[in-house]
Structure 1
Amino acid sequence: MLNTINIIGFVQAVFGILVFLTKRPKHLSFTLLAVWMAVISIHLGASLLPFRVVDYFKPGIFPISFLSGPLLYLYISSLTVENFKLKPQHLIHLLPLLLVAIHRSIIPVVDIASSSDLSENPNFVYNKIYYSLIMVSALLYWVLGWQLLIKHRKNIPLYFSNYSGKNSLNWLLFVLSLFLVVFIASFISFFINNILGLGIVSYTKTATNMTIFTFIMVYFGINQSAIYSKKKPMLVPHYPHTPAEEPDFKPANTSLTQDQVESLSAMVTNYLIENRPYRNPEYNLQMMADDLQISRHKLSHIINSGQQKNFYKFINQFRVAEVKLMLTDPSYHHYSVLGIAMECGFNAKTSFNRIFKEETGLTPTEYKLALDKETKARKPSFG
């Protein structure tokens, strides 16, 4: 049974490598996933060999266990940190792997399944140290990954005009929780059993954990594209703006004057009214900055200070106004309220209902009924 699970997990991991290496458009996140799948395939593939790896390669495959945490952290970074790139300083994440590999190559390697009694097997102390380090490493990277995700989710309203499955990364929160249970709990269970020798019942096998985790990462990873994309899928004409039309800026590291903020805020509002770019559900702060030829940092300051709103609320205010306008337009009477909302740039019924009520004090249905009642009341009576 265990061999079957190993084979299934190995095949899944190899499939994942091929998928992520060939996926287009290319992105660092796919490369990191391909490397992660390679690490898992080595683990599972080694268990299928008719010999022990340490008999031919003294460090064995154990040191690459130290890559799970760093790969998780770097993958999350590649999605949540804009313009994230691998740099020479990231090589520090390989240090535990290298130190353990070097150490295992110069000492007598002790099988993890051997006796943990140090009086009869003194070299087993190294295994205790290795597994202690790997638990600390996994927990540390889990915390770092969780912090990145929470920070990213707090920043969504500052950059995006809609929450979506792509930018909210709900699935990755689930993966982090799974990582905590599947790997960290498994390491702790193994540590208590094989290192401390306390003999508790292990809830699952490592091969089973890796197989489940591989399936989930391949499934979700295929569907997750880059969040901070440089593409500009604008559906509206370019706003006729030149640098000469905007007030002189102070240097980027100082604040704009109140007059500058008010003038630029009015310019942004006119741009939105005239071009209606918010009808694109993928509209974001970078698209607006590109159209207005203003740095994103300054534009964010203009919106936050001039409108007293973040980008998300600011754009959805215009979407709600557009919905209200279209509800009174006879040419859209054959549309449902939700259909009109989608035309105006909303991407989900739940968020539309919530935002509409925040802006108007009524649900879309209540607003539509009140509008219909008002329209009937205005019709002349011939009775």
Structure 2
Amino acid sequence: MSEPLFNFHDTILIATICLSGLFVVLILFARHERHYSDYSLAGFFLAQAAISLHVLINYGAAFRDTALAASPDLFYFFGIAFWLEGPLLFLYTRSLLYRNYTFKRSYSVYFLPSLAYIIYVSIIFYSLSFGDKIAHIETIKGMDAPSTQHFIEAIRESLRVFFGVLCILDIRKAQTNIRDRFSNIDKINLSWLTVLVISFVAVRVWILFIVFLSIGLPKISDPVFDALGLAGNYLSFALVAMMMFYSLRSSPFVIGHVVKDNEAVEGFAADPALKLKIETYMSEQKPYLHHLLNLDQLSSGLEMNPRALSAVIKHSFQTNFYEFVNSYRIDEAKSILDDPREIDKTMIEIAGECGFNSKATYNTFFKKLAGCTPTEYRKKSLKKGKVANGK
């Protein structure tokens, strides 16, 4: 009877390869309209498949010997995916967050480590003869003490964590920018992307820990090291599955609607006349009653540049667009709640009339600005009215 080609734990790597490949096909061939983010995401999942294949070839208990017997060139071939994964995730995140996103030449710098890796393996491995390649593989396999290989892996894993951190910083910047451009953000949800990227960083930190452990404690027993590595494989599979699910479900609600590049206004100086103009417009025209009011629409009504308006709100009113508009909505709600003739109106009706899309946002803002809930405010207001009227 022939020996099995895979063991039980290898199946999680095979599942990752299959799942990633399936998703790439789904992205590239099943969608009628494609965005830059689709190509970055497809590249990211191809990298996941290649990484799993690399791990299978290098560490698979049964598959390793079969694969390397077929061609020793496979030993390093799929390793390039480790270096491509971080930049591809970063570009995917950027393409989701930035309106009119295009690939810039400056982004090429993120792929320099990948190029350096290709040059490195070409020199130390692919330039060798067939026999020397086999000897090199056996040397790496029997290596216990820290080596150049270990330190390169440490750099590689550190870069993967670095790109994950860059993604988190980009998302945080976007979340701030959203509040500077939109008055209702209920449907612009970046929490799923934040969870995915943080999960990515957590898994890569785990793998980086294993690499540093192999450098600091080279004599660690094989069962312990294998258990740590297997845990990394299972976590990676869970990450791929989660990213596949949330990317399909949530990314259409983000693409092209969140932020623009280069929003800063240099040399801004506060202008009292502009502040008065905005206050007058908000009081007389009441644009905040429009549920979907955004920075572009308000700037158009005021005949101002959107970036200039954002700067005025930030510096002259000491707030962001989101809170600025909703503060007017709360004042409008107070005027309705103060009016005894409007006592039959429900809180949902009042929230809608004032421009809020959800009762939850309305209640949150009201309590933040008034110090009590709308219901409590109405009771206090009506009670004051009765006292004033001598009842």
TM norm structure 2: 0.74
Mapped partners of 2:275, 2:159: distance in 1: 50
Q: Aligned residue for 2:202?
A: 181
AA at the equivalent of 1:144? L
Which of the two has greater helix per residue? 2
Contact 1:265 1:307 in 2 (8 A): no
Gaps of at least 5 residues in structure 2 are: 1-7, 58-62, 126-132, 260-264
Match for 2:377 among 364, 367, 379? Answer: 367
The offset of 1:295, in angstroms, is: 1.3
TM norm structure 1: 0.75
Q: Aligned residue for 2:159?
A: 137
Q: Aligned residue for 2:36?
A: 28
Mapped partners of 2:26, 2:328: distance in 1: 40
Q: Aligned residue for 2:16?
A: 9
Contact 2:184 2:356 in 1 (8 A): yes
Q: Aligned residue for 1:215?
A: 241
Change over 3 Å in CA distance of 1:290–1:342 after alignment to 2: same
Q: Aligned residue for 1:115?
A: 142
Q: Aligned residue for 1:304?
A: 314
Q: Aligned residue for 2:4?
A: none
Mapped partners of 1:199, 1:165: distance in 2: 50
The offset of 1:155, in angstroms, is: 3.5
Mapped partners of 2:139, 2:254: distance in 1: 41
Q: Does 1:154 align with 2:170?
A: no
Mapped partners of 2:340, 2:34: distance in 1: 46
Contact 1:278 1:345 in 2 (8 A): yes
1:299-338 paired onto structure 2 within 5 Å:
299-327=309-337, 336-338=346-348
Q: Does 1:226 align with 2:270?
A: no
Match for 1:87 among 83, 89, 104? Answer: 104
AA at the equivalent of 1:261? L
Contact 1:32 1:75 in 2 (8 A): yes
The offset of 1:325, in angstroms, is: 4.5
Q: Does 1:99 align with 2:116?
A: yes
Change over 3 Å in CA distance of 1:148–1:305 after alignment to 2: closer
Secondary structure at the counterpart of residue 35 of structure 1:
helix
Mapped partners of 2:367, 2:216: distance in 1: 58
Contact 1:20 1:34 in 2 (8 A): yes
Mapped partners of 2:104, 2:159: distance in 1: 20
Q: Aligned residue for 1:247?
A: none
The offset of 1:305, in angstroms, is: 4.6
Q: Aligned residue for 2:88?
A: 71
Change over 3 Å in CA distance of 1:262–1:140 after alignment to 2: closer
AA at the equivalent of 1:68? E
Mapped partners of 2:340, 2:138: distance in 1: 78
The offset of 1:104, in angstroms, is: 1.7
Q: Deviations over 1:281-312 (max 9, x none)?
A: x4321332344442111111333355443212
The offset of 1:334, in angstroms, is: 6.5
Contact 1:279 1:319 in 2 (8 A): no
Contact 2:288 2:325 in 1 (8 A): no
Match for 1:40 among 25, 31, 48? Answer: 48
Q: Deviations over 1:143-181 (max 9, x none)?
A: 3233323333333432232444634x2233323332233
Q: Aligned residue for 1:353?
A: 363
Contact 2:87 2:163 in 1 (8 A): yes
Secondary structure at the counterpart of residue 309 of structure 1:
coil
AA at the equivalent of 1:15? L
The offset of 1:18, in angstroms, is: 3.6
AA at the equivalent of 1:110? I
Gaps of at least 5 residues in structure 1 are: 119-123, 232-251
Q: Deviations over 1:245-266 (max 9, x none)?
A: xxxxxxx865567354145324
Contact 1:166 1:227 in 2 (8 A): no
Between the two proteins, the alignment pairs up a number of residues equal to 352
Match for 1:51 among 46, 49, 67? Answer: 67
Mapped partners of 2:359, 2:109: distance in 1: 45
